[in-house]
Structure 1
């Protein structure tokens, strides 16, 4: 069962509320997100892009700008090599559009997930040599490709890396030493000696920072950077970066612009998903628009998503948006099938006793491994790897929980894998099929997760009676948006609510509508989304229930009423 805990971070909430003209509850929510001090609170509530760190703070930025300035003057051929996911596609688009704007002779290549694999490979270097490419610029990849970068250098090419993944390292006398590829310039804030203050950028924002510096050098008006905010927002949310500081400002600014985007492709993707009249939030990027952009790289070719962003006519954009939306529907069905098979394997084998789950689905499409791993992680609250069959080896992805650094644990098993990389919370790898069982065994032998760490934890921001909810408070909660990783939607809780009435509604009968009464005699409407029958059976047996919830204003046919969305119950 979940463990419910109350966030107990202290501050003078009344004083903060008075200073910033917000309810003390809002002040408490901000403190719970570790936003401390007058300057940080002000930035959190009203920070703008003018306050973002200078791109010149990033290690090698001056060098990377100097190189391209020289290459452009020489009319050298530049190739961008990106990645096939949402971050890689948007990174590629940002670099391509930005470099073309300053006069570069530039083209792009996004690797095919199946034919090429992730990142820069030897055959892509050979193709670049055949095409007489002078300079390669990577985006969302390259930091772990030392051998391939060396091959490009041996062939006389210049290489600039823009990436955000963990820097490979080796342990020497108890200290970590970075293992960097021999590129001419490396833009990656995760380098230990990089002074850039935000270490948690996505690949597209690293690319955006590079373009910002190049625009400054080439005298391009700063206003032209506006076109990139929405793409930075899409990539930051889509690649599940923490929505804190710079990232949160970029996403906030990008969401404001997305509704009225000038990009034909994004306009039609919004229309294809019936969001023209919606207030587009981080949720819509994470669960509606983003998966459509990702779908082409999963089931077809990511070049189709790049073509969507590059679409010049409404007709072309509408056709591509329709294709991507249909691909995403297919992806959903295949994901569900893979998830059910993974659960069956776990429940019917000794895997159910493992602390780190490694599930081999040889017939599953390799592009779905990460999504299925995420679903397994959510169901069992354990780190999960899903591996799929390939022509020469198995490939897979992992998704982790907060107390388990996936990348560091993979480093301990490096000898078993052909290739790997990633972050603390997510990773990708390729491995020979014969090594899968030993990989699973060693991960579990090395695992130090305790029973307590494996127990799902619900952190309650504020135990708050429903009688305290007002329209003004709900409107102030919107000041905390956008919500996502690192800036979660607030969680409120109340004990001893009596259920006066309930009914199951919705096309799929998975919604419960309730009328609740709190101990002060105040009634409120409630909605629960999920396993409706289980919830109804639970409340029938109880005189009262405790719930975690999120308050909102229900607007229907011109009328407004307060209601709570029930998230957990006991």
Structure 2
């Protein structure tokens, strides 16, 4: 079930249109994305690298850089400890490249997802200690490693933390909140109390990028050297699903401009094996093509392979590594499809289908795929989902939620059934004993206050706009709103009472339909639909007139440009 609603935000659209030289439709789209003041609109449309927030605004960064510079001068051994996901790999790469340019004696260690689990562990500290490492610097992790960092301090190591995750806290009986910070020598995290950084929602790689920027300024290294790190920070921002607003949007925009001309052999090879050479790479390609290849190494093998790819200087070696990652991702896709099929089968054939919160146990499933499978199941049922798998010790799992259900808070209410858990309103990770699965499922559902209305997917239409209004200049202006992604969604247009004719199915998988649309005023437009072509044609036989959600595009064929509407939904 879907509910279509129209965004009804008010503003002086004509005034915005006149001041910024954009169509009133574009003005409305900008307002729908919460850009309200002229300054915000100007940054949104024309933001450049100089509009990024200054690194100096991060609390603790001066302290961290001074320690780092002292260690570099004393020729002390520095180890970067990252994480196994895309943000962890990219932030590790950024710090490593930055430290090398500053002549540091630096090396890298990344935890193994299955063996070490998330972030810095005692084993990783032990390994560093045996190698006589003097200083550990974390990226994309460390803020919640209270015990582990205390252990490193017992061994007289210097520990620097760069992270972006929430600060761990405990709610007291009187309702007050106590926050805990590790006993590190310096901490840079925009979310720590008293940090004046104006934008808190940056990823780990962006924090690392700011640290390197500060390091280069203090060491008089030309800032042109930071240029090549921009695409990597952009990949992490999209891959870690950060909101594409404020400086994230500027950075991703600038990164996408540079990505096809990158000097990074590994990135070039990854673009090549995914057939994206000489094509305009968008945030979509990072999120759904390149990013999953980088993530697949941390899921099914070791994230060190993805880091190796980014560090590769040799075209041949980079090609081999990129092929490897693509193959890993392809097998990850196959395993995901099988996992989703099995989960649906369990839900449909048991009493689970009556639950408002789905808890599905897939003991055979690879633990690193639980989150992806949970996301697919959530899309299918519009319900919060936990997918559990059998781990080395007990059961591990991941959850994905819907807007109306705060997953982390609901897990807190079941904490006595869990051995470990963490997360956000929309996503979570957990561990528990196998015998508690059924109790967990029952308790979540007993506590659940979701209504039928909450579990209906809502599609928010930006502008109800007749297809006849669309021109090629308007489509070009839509390009100014990119990159699209979380927090800056692709605009949604709709029109009522459309008739379709001349439908033809194309593609070797019969997954493209081309047709003609005609509205009630007799205006005709060329349209295209992607998906199961035969199923779509069957559906069109049900009635003559449809409401349509569409997105306009320019079709270039033999040097001629024409408008083509991409049909995204009908009802």
Calculate the TM-score normalised by the size of structure 2: 0.97
| Equivalent residue, structure 1, for 2:467 | 466
Q: Secondary structure at the match of 1:236?
A: helix
| Equivalent residue, structure 1, for 2:27 | 27
Shift in Å, 1:98: 0.7
| Equivalent residue, structure 2, for 1:64 | 64
Contact 1:510 1:531 (8 Å CA) reproduced: yes
| Equivalent residue, structure 1, for 2:128 | 128
Shift in Å, 1:408: 2.9
| Equivalent residue, structure 2, for 1:356 | 357
Identify the range of structure 1 (432-441 vs 375-384) with the bigger mean alpha-carbon deviation.
432-441
**Structure 2 residue 287 is the aligned partner of structure 1 residue 286:** yes
List aligned pairs for 1:425-436, cutoff 5 A: 425-436=426-437
Shift in Å, 1:432: 2.1
CA distance in 1, matches of 2:419, 2:161: 22
| Equivalent residue, structure 1, for 2:150 | 150
Identify the range of structure 1 (534-543 vs 293-302) with the bigger mean alpha-carbon deviation.
534-543
List aligned pairs for 1:410-449, cutoff 5 A: 410-449=411-450
CA distance in 2, matches of 1:520, 1:60: 63
Shift in Å, 1:251: 0.2
Identify the range of structure 1 (80-89 vs 249-258) with the bigger mean alpha-carbon deviation.
80-89
CA distance in 2, matches of 1:300, 1:121: 19
List aligned pairs for 1:14-413, cutoff 5 A: 14-172=14-172, 173-413=174-414
Q: Secondary structure at the match of 1:80?
A: strand
Shift in Å, 1:161: 1.5
CA distance in 2, matches of 1:231, 1:278: 18
List aligned pairs for 1:482-493, cutoff 5 A: 482-493=483-494
Identify the range of structure 1 (437-446 vs 550-559) with the bigger mean alpha-carbon deviation.
437-446
Shift in Å, 1:20: 0.6
CA distance in 2, matches of 1:530, 1:281: 21
Contact 1:136 1:160 (8 Å CA) reproduced: yes
CA distance in 1, matches of 2:149, 2:413: 25
Identify the range of structure 1 (348-357 vs 271-280) with the bigger mean alpha-carbon deviation.
348-357
| Equivalent residue, structure 2, for 1:540 | 541
CA distance in 2, matches of 1:362, 1:338: 10
Shift in Å, 1:178: 1.3
Shift in Å, 1:252: 0.2
Residues 171-200 of structure 1: CA distance to partner in whole angstroms, max 9, x if unpaired?
Answer: 122122212222222222122432211111
CA distance in 2, matches of 1:424, 1:104: 39
CA distance in 1, matches of 2:492, 2:201: 25
CA distance in 1, matches of 2:403, 2:224: 39
Shift in Å, 1:557: 3.0
Identify the range of structure 1 (556-565 vs 475-484) with the bigger mean alpha-carbon deviation.
556-565
Shift in Å, 1:56: 1.5
Q: Secondary structure at the match of 1:453?
A: helix
- With over 3 angstroms needed to count, the CA separation of the structure-2 counterparts of 1:56 and 1:447, relative to structure 1, is farther
| Equivalent residue, structure 1, for 2:526 | 525
Residues 54-74 of structure 1: CA distance to partner in whole angstroms, max 9, x if unpaired?
Answer: 112112112211221222222
Residues 104-134 of structure 1: CA distance to partner in whole angstroms, max 9, x if unpaired?
Answer: 2111111111122111112112112111111
Shift in Å, 1:501: 2.1
CA distance in 1, matches of 2:332, 2:341: 14
Q: Secondary structure at the match of 2:420?
A: strand
Contact 1:165 1:422 (8 Å CA) reproduced: no
5+ residue gaps, structure 1:
none
Identify the range of structure 1 (388-397 vs 526-535) with the bigger mean alpha-carbon deviation.
526-535
- With over 3 angstroms needed to count, the CA separation of the structure-2 counterparts of 1:328 and 1:442, relative to structure 1, is same
- With over 3 angstroms needed to count, the CA separation of the structure-2 counterparts of 1:187 and 1:410, relative to structure 1, is farther
Residues 261-286 of structure 1: CA distance to partner in whole angstroms, max 9, x if unpaired?
Answer: 01010011111111112100001101
Q: Secondary structure at the match of 1:223?
A: helix
CA distance in 1, matches of 2:297, 2:62: 35
Shift in Å, 1:486: 0.4
CA distance in 2, matches of 1:431, 1:163: 27
Shift in Å, 1:450: 2.5
- With over 3 angstroms needed to count, the CA separation of the structure-2 counterparts of 1:276 and 1:162, relative to structure 1, is same
Q: Secondary structure at the match of 1:409?
A: helix
Shift in Å, 1:155: 1.5
CA distance in 2, matches of 1:541, 1:486: 36
CA distance in 2, matches of 1:350, 1:163: 42
Calculate the TM-score normalised by the size of structure 1: 0.97
Contact 1:467 1:520 (8 Å CA) reproduced: no
CA distance in 2, matches of 1:355, 1:70: 56
Q: Secondary structure at the match of 2:160?
A: strand
Identify the range of structure 1 (131-140 vs 244-253) with the bigger mean alpha-carbon deviation.
131-140
Number of equivalenced pairs: 570
Shift in Å, 1:354: 2.0
Contact 1:166 1:421 (8 Å CA) reproduced: no
CA distance in 1, matches of 2:335, 2:97: 34
CA distance in 1, matches of 2:88, 2:342: 29
Shift in Å, 1:424: 2.4
Contact 1:526 1:564 (8 Å CA) reproduced: yes
Contact 1:144 1:421 (8 Å CA) reproduced: no
Contact 1:272 1:321 (8 Å CA) reproduced: yes
CA distance in 2, matches of 1:159, 1:442: 41
Shift in Å, 1:360: 1.3
Shift in Å, 1:221: 1.6
CA distance in 1, matches of 2:98, 2:425: 31
